[in-house]
Structure 1
Amino acid sequence: MFISVYAVLLYFFFLTERYHPYQEVFLVTIQVIILTILIPISIFYFLMTLGRANSFMLSEISQRKIPLAVNILLLYILIRESIRIELIPELYYFFFGALVSTVLALLFVFINLKASIHMIAISSITVFAIGFSLHTQTNHIYLVAFLLLLNGIVATSRLSMKAHDTKELIVGFLSGVIPQIGLLYFWL
Structure 2
Amino acid sequence: MKKILPFFSYLFHPIFIPLFGTFFYVLINDAYFSFYQHLVLFIQIIIITILLPVAFFYLLRTFGKVDNIMLSDISQRKIPLLLQIMLLSILIVKSITIDKFPELFYFLFGGLLSAIFAFGLLFLKVKSSIHMIGMSALTVFIIGLSVHSQINIINTVMFFVVMNGFVASSRLEMKAHNKKELLIGFLCGIIPQLVLLYFWL
TM-score (ref. length: structure 1): 0.97
2:20 is aligned to 6
The alignment status of 1:146 with 2:127, answered yes or no, reads no
Q: CA RMSD, aligned part only?
A: 0.8
CA distance in 2 between partners of 1:54 and 1:174 (Å): 27
Within 1, Cα distance between the matches of 2:72 and 2:130?
A: 12
Q: Return the match for 2:173 from 137, 140, 160.
A: 160
Q: Which residue of 2 aligns with 1:45?
A: 58
Partner of residue 98, structure 1: 111
**Deviation at 1:181?**
0.3
Match of 1:77 among 90, 95, 111: 90
CA deviation after TM superposition for structure 1 residue 55, in Å: 1.4
Structure 2 residue aligned with 1:67:
80
Runs of 4+ in 1 over 2 A off after TM superposition: none
For residues 22-52 of structure 1, the C-alpha deviation after alignment (integer angstroms, 9 at most, x for no partner) is 1110001100101100000111111111111
Deviation at 1:140, TM superposition (A): 1.3
Question: SS at 1:77's partner residue?
Answer: helix
Structure 1 distance, partners of 2:69, 2:160, is 24
| Aligned residue type for 2:142 | A
Letter in 2 for 1:21: S
Count of residues in correspondence between the two structures: 187
CA drift at 1:5? 0.6
TM-score norm. by structure 2 comes to: 0.91
Q: Unaligned stretches of 5+ in structure 1?
A: none
Unaligned runs of 5+ in 2: 1-14
Matched position secondary structure for 1:55: coil
Residue among 95, 103, 120 paired with 1:107: 120
Residue of structure 1 aligned with 2:44, choices 8, 31, 54: 31
Partners of 1:49 and 1:31 lie apart in 2 by: 26
Between the aligned partners of 2:72 and 2:155, the Cα distance in structure 1 is 34
CA distance in 1, matches of 2:175, 2:64: 23
Give the superposition deviation at 1:11. Answer: 1.0
| 2:99 equivalent in structure 1 | 86
Q: Which has the higher contact order (CA 8 A, sep 6+)?
A: 2
Distance 2:160 2:73 in 1: 29
